[in-house]
Amino acid sequence: MEGRDKVTGAAVYTADVDVPGLVHAALVQSRIPRGRVTAESVRREARAASAAPGVLHVLTPMNCPPLHSLPSDLTADFPFERRTPLADLQVHYAGQHMALVVADTPENATAAAQGMRLDYETAPAHLVMADVPAADRYRPDHWVKLVEEKLQDRRGADQICATTDLVPHHGTYHTPEHAHHPIELSATIAEWAGEHLTVHDTTRWIAGERRVLACYLGMPEDRVRVVSPLVGGAFGSKNFLWMHVVLCAVAARTVGRPVKLVLTRDQMFTSTGHRPRTEQDLTLVADARGTLLSTEHHTLTETSPLAHFCEPAGLPARYLYGSPRVVTSHTVAPTNMPTPCFMRGPGEAPGLFALESAMDELAYALGIDPVEFRVRNDADIDQAGGRPWSGKHLQECYRRGAQRFGWSLRPRLPRAMRHGDLLVGWGMATATYPGRRMSAGCAVHTAVDGTVRFASATHEIGNGVRTVMGQVAADATGLPLTAVAFDTGDSRFPAAPYTGASQTTASVGSAVFSAGVEWKQRLLSWVSGVDGGSAGLDIRAGVVLREGRPVVTVAEVLRDGGAELADLLTFTATAEGGEPTTTTQSFGVHFCEVEVDEAIGKATVTRWSATLDCGRVVNPRLADSQVMGGVIFGIGMALFEQVPHDAGLRIGEYHVATHADIPDFDIEFVEVPDHDLDPIGVRGIGEIGSSGVAAAIANAIFHATGKRIRQVPITTEMLLGEPS
């Protein structure tokens, strides 16, 4: 819907919002991973910065107004920091906010902030998980209580019973720290009108940010308005309120003017979350016939000293394959690193790298084709919950995907395929991601001129939410797509969940659908009251039909009904999330081809085929785009992405996939609507596209080279090494 505005530059993002009297802020961040900043240096540098050109205020731990702590339900369930910003002089990680400079221009604010040279008293820091003593590590029970997925689980007998020889596999798999790095930098504009605060922010959880900001500031939620016009990508980094937003609001109140803060690209590393490192020990045991008998998946991951977050890498092992014995565990080590958070495919992306690599390794040990091995162990029910699937067509994905890719032509032995001087390999991996839905609201406003606008406090993050919701509204009302509009990004609209976990279409779409159906019923009741009967009435393409024959246009009905009808057709609908009796899960399979130049240690993904079971597809073009974006995300994970460190400080470059790294795509959906989850039959697509991708590439590299690599990114040095 907003595509033309985006490509012509007319689209308004947070940093583009024009507020009269605006001044600008810049952050000062710690340069050490642990210790404390000296009070004297804070006072000295604040005085110097205050005297710099254009500076209006310097906010430090010495003058920051007291802020309120968050309730435990927020800090236990989401990665909000327990320590309020600028609460004291302690330093817990490099990049922690130490001061905020406000000036008349962004240049003056930046210059003054960069000129502040604080003195530190350093303390020993834990920068890697291995340094964290066992006594400081912990094992959380659940990932997110809203989801209720166990992080520690054990099913089946301790002893493995088998009638044939056992074939075990054990491997340790490593994933690095990943940065979200969306195109749009995080930005905030805070302005006060008396005791009322308006915050324009790059957020994808308006309702949550409003609550958390009100908690920090100790004020009623109804005095806080959060506006998020458009979000230029997020991948998890904008799901939460981060500390710079609070400081921006405090600074705006202090100086009595609207304050704008735009993070730098470097500050995005430390200030808006990341995917934490994982070390995963995985043991699979099968019998000689290729039947899995035992699955153990143990994950060590990290969080910051100030917040709880656990990367749930072991969750797919609980349900993806049939296994009489399943043991999963997660251990969290607090390191002196910035706070991590959800990132596209949390749990599934790193977890499936380990699980699907291990499945490939065990298939080779058994002498069974990797696809056939997965087919034999497909779980016909949800083992973790003991419930049936709402709809599962993974076997169909395997069959159709293998056929489309040409998998039957694949030689079993590695190093058997070449393209000139290049080694060629084919790999595959299963993809999966939960189908989720939460409660959401949607308002409908009908104007006398016939304009029908739907609105919800959800977000357009670049994935086409406004377009898809417009389609749902048009279908439910019977109006043409050009006759409806969908508004997002304002906390004044009915509440909606965060735009993450691939749940927006199912959650908000259900509310839009309910509102559209009610709108249609109200209008038809009005028409039947006019003409004396409602039997056989319907609306299609903006025309009221009786028994399929045109009666009157909706535009004419709205014109004749005037303000009275417009008021009748203006209301709010809510769709509750509910608890389905089945397990809603999306599935699929990725096949890929890689070419490896061993002379220079370079791997290139040349061809990709994905076949996915995600329920009803509302917009095929946007769905294909979501999957392509997810696969490219996974290519970056497999071959390029890792945050560099030097004593806890970010340095160097963060490499991502570019246009030159994009393969030829073949994407197909096994389209079977899933009405157990929602009335429109959809399951989310945003995350499943990246789940399993890194494993498929690693498996293809093994097939090409004979080198089994158990960590990502797969670098030049690894490809130049000897075969495993």
pLDDT, tens digit, 9 for 90 and up, residues 571-625: 999 998 767 789 999 999 999 999 999 999 999 999 999 999 999 999 999 999 9
> DSSP secondary-structure letter at 85?
T
Tokens of 24: 């600008």
The CA-based angle 114-103-83, given to 5 degrees, is 65
Nearest to 311 by CA among 462, 143, 486, 446: 143
Residue whose entry in the numeric block shows the structure tokens 């327990």: 82
Looking at residue 532, its pLDDT comes to: 57
How do residues 310-326 score in pLDDT, each as one tens digit?
A: 999 999 999 999 999 99
Read off the pTM.
0.96
Rounded distance, CA 123 to CA 401, Å? Answer: 54
DSSP codes of every residue in 390-448: S---HHHHHHHHHHHHTGGG--SSTT-EEETTEEEEEEEEEEEEE-----EEEEEEE-T
The pLDDT mean for the chain works out to: 94
Tokens of 694: 């890194």
- The residue-averaged pLDDT of 296-311 equals 96
The CA-based angle 398-403-406, given to 5 degrees, is 120
Looking at residue 244, its pLDDT comes to: 96
Question: One of 81, 302, 311, 687 is an active-site residue; which one?
Answer: 687
How do residues 399-417 score in pLDDT, each as one tens digit?
A: 999 999 999 999 999 999 9
CA dihedral 306, 308, 312, 318 (to 10 degrees): 150
Tell me which H or E stretch contains 508: helix 504-531
Looking at residue 385, its pLDDT comes to: 87
3-state secondary structure of 133: coil
Nearest to 97 by CA among 243, 213, 231: 243
- The residue-averaged pLDDT of 561-571 equals 94
Looking at residue 267, its pLDDT comes to: 93
How do residues 241-282 score in pLDDT, each as one tens digit?
A: 999 999 999 999 999 999 999 999 999 999 999 999 999 999
3-state secondary structure of 457: coil
Question: With 60 as the cut, is the pLDDT of residue 642 above it?
Answer: yes
Question: With 60 as the cut, is the pLDDT of residue 648 above it?
Answer: no
Rounded distance, CA 36 to CA 30, Å? Answer: 9
DSSP codes of every residue in 655-722: ----GGG--EEEEEE-----TTT-TT-B---TTTTTTTHHHHHHHHHHHHHS----BSS--HHHHHS-
How do residues 97-149 score in pLDDT, each as one tens digit?
A: 999 999 999 999 999 999 999 999 999 999 999 999 999 999 999 877 666 68
- Cβ atoms of 270 and 29 within 8 Å: the answer is yes
- Cβ atoms of 206 and 490 within 8 Å: the answer is yes
Tell me which H or E stretch contains 356: helix 348-366
CA dihedral 392, 396, 397, 398 (to 10 degrees): 120
Number of H helices, E strands in the chain: 16, 29
Q: b vs e for 635-670, b when ≥16 Cβ sit within 10 Å of the residue's Cβ? A: bbbbbbbbbebeebbbeeebebbeeebebeeebbbb
Looking at residue 666, its pLDDT comes to: 98
Residue type, 418: R
Residue whose entry in the numeric block shows the structure tokens 């497999």: 638
User: What distance lies between CA 317 and its chain's CA centroid?
Assistant: 20
- Cβ atoms of 456 and 440 within 8 Å: the answer is yes
Question: With 80 as the cut, is the pLDDT of residue 650 above it?
Answer: no
687 has catalytic annotation: yes
Rounded distance, CA 392 to CA 587, Å? Answer: 7
CA distances from 9 to 5, 6, 13, 381 (A): 6, 5, 10, 49
Helix extents (H) in 554-678:
554-568, 620-639
Rounded distance, CA 375 to CA 589, Å? Answer: 11
- Listed in sequence order, the residues at least 6 apart from 63 whose beta carbon sits closer than 8 Å to its beta carbon are 46
Q: Is 158 exposed, middle or buried (0-12, 13-18, 19+ CB in 10 A)?
A: exposed
Work out the pLDDT band at 536, boundaries 50, 70, 90. confident
- The residue-averaged pLDDT of 525-534 equals 77
Tell me which H or E stretch contains 110: helix 106-114
Rounded distance, CA 632 to CA 594, Å? Answer: 14
Question: With 70 as the cut, is the pLDDT of residue 638 above it?
Answer: yes
Residues in the chain: 724
Backbone angles phi, psi at 677, to 5 degrees: -90, -40
Question: With 80 as the cut, is the pLDDT of residue 163 above it?
Answer: no
- Cβ atoms of 432 and 588 within 8 Å: the answer is yes
Question: Quick one: CA dihedral 547, 550, 552, 553, positive or negative?
Answer: positive
Tokens of 454: 């739907």
Question: With 90 as the cut, is the pLDDT of residue 672 above it?
Answer: yes
How do residues 376-406 score in pLDDT, each as one tens digit?
A: 999 999 998 889 999 999 999 999 999 999 9
Taking the CA of residue 244 as centre, how many other CA atoms within 13 Å lie in the half-sphere pointing to its CB? Answer: 34
Q: Give the orientation angle of helix 504-531 with respect to helix 465-477, to 10 degrees.
A: 30
Q: Any bridge partners for residue 248, and if so which?
A: none
